[in-house]
Structure 1
Amino acid sequence: MAQRRAIIFHGTGAHPDVVWLPWLRRRLAERGYVVDAPHHPGLNVEPIATFLPKVLGAHTFDEHTVLVGHSGGAALLLAVLQHIDVRVDQAILVAGYCTPPNDADEPVLQESYDWSAIRAHVRDLYFVNSRVDPYGCDDRQGRAMLERLGGTQVVRDDGHFGDVDQPYESFELLDRLID
């Protein structure tokens, strides 16, 4: 069987060693995944037009790849999925968004999306959002993506699923969602 790979993208202003990201890396490695959790300090700082080519060049994507993104990292997944030329196995967008969720600048967002290209490049798509998110990455954002892309939305009451004032050291749901 081919090697399963997972790439986990942190959120804006974060790094791979915050909240549930280290826990998920360990869990997936225990399950036999090769796991990459890159640090992208330019995420949501550098415009997506110049940032995306760096991300695409740094990773390999194929039908055995699972993508997980949190917050700005989830928004990044929309651009990744639009611009890759293969179909990945799964993408899970945690506290993701496709339009500005608040008054902050969001250079990770594209001006528009080719929703059919995004959908064509992923077998199984999940949106995990909270009803109330302190940054506006809430269930309405998840619903907007779900309506354009299909997939499955999971709505919880768990804030931003981890933040400086919200310890979130494990995330059992993600372990169950990933094949």
Structure 2
Amino acid sequence: MRKLLDIGIEQMKKMIGEMADGSLEALGSARKSLEGEFNSTGEIASKLHILRLGILDLVTELLIRYSPVAGDLRYIQSAIDVSYDLYRISRYAMEIERTVKIVMAPVEISLEAFPLTEEAVKISVEAFSELDETLVGRLIEIDRQIDRYYLDSLMALRDNPKKAVDALIMRHLERICDHANEIGARVVYIREGKRW
């Protein structure tokens, strides 16, 4: 029975990996939209939604059939949260692309923040994939930097209402980094059983 649980967990890891790739692809497409290149982040988000539903079905089956405990149970619980975070990242990327496509306004702060946001998602995915707690500290640093960018965009908005698009995009980037941070928190939970 243990072998079947391991097979199910490996399948879940593969699906999370596909979702991670998709969220990074969506984020990259959203960044390109700031330069006038529009792709279809909506299709990526739809694909991630379907993958997430598959993960939820697999989780339900694993919980009912094998009654996992300890680390396996924490991993399975965390996979539910991570699949949600990755799906939300793709949705925020879709909203960024849609906003830019409709408004077509120049942005400054968002262009600076995008590489950090992409780095946060990459690090969170690596941390979860490898269950590497040492990467979580970098996620916290990036999250603080993105929070500062977001506040800067709000301050710029106060001084110049034409900066609304930048502030809106920064809001989405800030939420993406929060989701990346949550993925990092799942690593600590799986490894140590501690929530933060």
TM-score, scaled relative to structure 1: 0.29
Larger relative contact order (C-alpha < 8 A, sep ≥ 6)? 2
TM-score, scaled relative to structure 2: 0.27
**Between structures 1 and 2, the one with greater strand share:** 1
